[in-house]
């Protein structure tokens, strides 16, 4: 019985480690919005209180993929830390409108810049 448990564990543990590593790699390459391409600057808008700036970029997907719009927020009170908050495929323009001091509408999507992220891949 002890030998059987040892064999099962010696197979299960490496498989579990492999699955975890594969999941992390999958997430990093396909779902992590902080690893998106830079793109070409389109426009920016500063929040009413001046605490945040949202910058939008046009990302060229190349010959076989459509354009996309990426937007990042710059947190001025946090040493200008940047975070991607918007990623939309098949768009070429960006409309940024502040609704209040921390809520922004980007191409019709309403986001709280403190916590929300819009990624078309998760729709």
In the chain, where the domains are located: 1-30, 38-122
Per-residue pLDDT at 35: 65
Which pLDDT band, with edges at 50, 70 and 90, does 13 fall under? confident
* More confident: 2 or 79: 79
Taking the model in full, what pTM does it have?
A: 0.74
Q: Strand 96-98 and strand 40-46: pairing?
A: unpaired
* Mean pLDDT, residues 100-115: 96
Per-residue pLDDT at 31: 64
Residues 36-53: pLDDT tens digits?
A: 678 899 999 999 999 999
User: How far, in Å, CA of 42 to CA of 56, rounded?
Assistant: 5
User: How far, in Å, CA of 39 to CA of 69, rounded?
Assistant: 8
């Amino acid at each position: 019985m002890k030998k059987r448990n040892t064999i099962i564990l010696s197979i299960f543990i490496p498989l579990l480690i492999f699955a975890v590593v594969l999941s992390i790699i999958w997430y990093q390459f396909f779902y992590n919005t902080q690893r998106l391409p830079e793109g070409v600057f389109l426009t920016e808008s500063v929040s009413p209180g001046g605490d945040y700036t949202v910058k939008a970029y046009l990302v060229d997907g190349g010959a076989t993929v459509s354009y996309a719009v990426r937007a990042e927020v710059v947190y001025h009170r946090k040493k200008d830390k940047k975070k991607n908050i918007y990623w939309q495929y098949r768009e070429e323009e960006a409309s940024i409108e502040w609704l209040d001091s921390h809520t922004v509408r980007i191409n019709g999507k309403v986001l709280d810049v403190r916590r929300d992220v819009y990624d078309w891949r998760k729709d």
